[in-house]
Amino acid sequence: MKHRIDRRKLGRKTQARIALLRTLARQLVEHGQLETTLPKAKELKRFAERLVSYAKAGDLHHIRLLERHLGDRELVKKMTDEISPRFEGVKGGYVTLLKSGFRRGDGAPTAVVRWSK
C-alpha cells in the first residue's frame, strides 16, 4: 500500500527533480505559460502555487525563499510586482492546467500550464 506517498518522483533522483521543478517554475514566471507532460504539470502546479503564496506574503523571509527557488532577482521582482497583485483577493488556484493531447514521439499526455488570471 502507498500510505503517505505525497509527490511524484518523475523518474528522477531528488536533486534532479528539484532542479526540474525550479527550471519549469522559472519558465512559467518568465513566459506566463508552458507546455509539458501531465505529471510534470501537476507537480509544477503545486510548486508554483507555493511560490505565489510566498510572493503575496512579501516579507523578507518569503522574498529570500523566492530567491532560493527561482535563483534570479529579476524573476523575484516580476513575481512580487506583476504576478502576485493579480491574485490579491484569491486564496488559491493560481495556476491552471489544460490538457492538450498527446506528444507525437512517445504518446505521453501533455498539458499547458498557465496563470489563471
> Using one digit for the tens of pLDDT, what is the confidence trace for 16-42?
999 999 999 999 999 999 999 999 999
Identify whether the C-beta of residue 75 lies closer than 8 Å to the C-beta of residue 30: yes
- Helices 60-70 and 38-57, packing angle to 10 deg: 150
Domains in the chain, start-ordered, CATH in brackets?
Answer: 14-115 (3.90.1030.10)
- Does the structure show a pLDDT above 90 at 4? no
Cα–chain center distance at 34: 10
pTM: 0.91
Residues, the chain, total?
A: 117
- Tell me how far apart the alpha carbons of residues 40 and 35 are, in angstroms, rounded to a whole number: 10
CA proximity to 63, closest of 114, 53, 101: 53
- Average pLDDT over the chain, rounded to an integer: 95
Residue 11: HSE in the Cβ half-sphere, 13 Å Cα cutoff: 3
- Tell me how far apart the alpha carbons of residues 60 and 84 are, in angstroms, rounded to a whole number: 15
- Does the structure show a pLDDT above 90 at 1? no
- Tell me how far apart the alpha carbons of residues 100 and 36 are, in angstroms, rounded to a whole number: 9
- Does the structure show a pLDDT above 90 at 117? no
